[in-house]
Amino acid sequence: MSNIIEHFEVLAQIPHCSKMADRLFEFLVEFAKSRGYGVQTDQAKNILIAKGNPSLCLQAHYDMVCIGRAPAIETYIEKGWMKAKEASLGADNGMAIAMMMELMDRGESLEFLITSDEEIGLIGANAVAFNLQSKYMLNLDSEEEAEVCIGCAGGIDITAVFRDAYIESRGKCYEVSVKSLPGGHSGVDIDKGIPSAIKVLGAYLHEEGVVQLAGFHAGERRNSIPANALAIVYSEKTLENKGDVNVREVEGAPKILKTGARLLEFIHRFKHGVHRQNKEFGIPDTSINLALIHTDEKGGIQIEASARAMSAKGLKEISHEAVQLFESYGFDAKLEEKYPSWKPEVSEFTKLVGKEMQSVFGKAKMMAIHAGLECGVIAKKYPHIKFASMGPTIRYPHSTRETVNLKSVENTFKVLLEIIDKVGN
């Protein structure tokens, strides 16, 4: 097992879900100091680690999306891929941190910018204000080997609320659920045909003509394709299992939402997934993830969605379309802009990264990604720095299927060493 993988195994045992990563923050600070590096931190718990007079800064985030049993992570290796038992793995972005740890062990003269709470809206990146020395920044959060990422999508979160009331019900009461669908990243996986548990459950209830809704609870994270959904309904016709939908008759007499039919119709009409394709890069141009739905005992309904687009114009269009739909069903919808898009740019630095990638992998491709990278935020703060992004092959991040190719990790690290040799000092 390589030093990088050993470092990752250590990281995996330190809980670092978003907003709950203090132990890893403290570990990384002490790790860097013990190896003779200068360390600065800020109120957002970003970390800047440096030695010498570097011209290259490596950047990654130290929080992870915790799904399933995470942060209780038990790793295993299967046919060259590392996975976690019934949990997200945290290779996004833990493998980047492990590479940085190996470079610190080697005493490389570099800057390392390690940011906080990336997975819940690039919170750390938005707060970064360190005095960076470097002329170049290499983000290590991309997830496909032999690709130089030169652009990314921007994102907006949408929260919609509605105050309903409960009334008496009629018919038989059922628990109708969709459980343990594959899930996935709401950006890079949105075009991979992964079913949304919310849409699957909504389609079943629509087809069965169910309009008496007592409760609805679905989704895991804003940036994850929903893997689980559950509804409590009343039906005058008998409901049965169908496909991924499980039905169980339950006792009791909970009241139903007065306008529950409106919520079910909204779910049916909501266009979850890709709205427009980006022909230049062969990726989605605009998309939206219907992420979370919850009702409460007082009749409150809250829905959360995340929209992405490769341009500011596209982001404005898709978020406006979503808000219009919410408001047409009586919801009060609010937008929270999380991060800007990063306009694709080919520079001498991206060409260098591509050249070194070609030498190791035998191929290299300039690409953009339909997900948020911190480059977009940080580039606006440091316009003099040239940016690129790369990383090892990671499949299905933000889900219990997350897996990383270990050979890809080693080869990506070889590329990284060559880049450091060319521009690091």
What are the tens digits of pLDDT across the range 208-239?
Answer: 998 899 999 999 999 999 999 999 999 989 99
pLDDT tens-place string over residues 251-279? 877 899 999 999 999 999 999 999 999 99
What confidence tier does 425 reach under pLDDT thresholds 50, 70, 90? low
> pTM of the predicted model, to two decimals?
0.85
- Order of strands across the sheet with 386-389? 38-41, 47-50, 111-115, 56-61, 136-139, 386-389, 147-152, 365-369
d(CA 343, CA 152): 7
Q: What is the mean pLDDT of residues 185-189?
A: 94
The yes-or-no verdict on residue 414 having pLDDT over 90 is yes
d(CA 13, CA 4): 15
Contact 323, 316 (CB under 8 A): no
Residue 126 tokens read as 């938005």
Q: What angle do CA 120, 221, 78 make, to 5 degrees?
A: 100
The pLDDT, as a whole number, for residue 290 is 98
Residue 125 tokens read as 């990146």
pLDDT tens-place string over residues 363-377? 999 999 999 899 999
The pLDDT, as a whole number, for residue 288 is 98
pLDDT tens-place string over residues 157-170? 999 999 999 999 88
Give the 3-state DSSP-derived string for 324-343, with helices as H, strands as E and coil as C: HHHHHCCCEEEEEEEECCEC
pLDDT tens-place string over residues 84-130? 999 999 999 999 999 999 999 999 999 999 999 999 989 999 999 99
Give burial (CB, 10 Å; 0-12/13-18/19+) of 111.
buried
Strands, E assignment, 67-223: 75-78, 81-84, 111-115, 136-139, 147-152, 154-163, 166-167, 172-178, 184-185, 212-218
The pLDDT, as a whole number, for residue 254 is 83
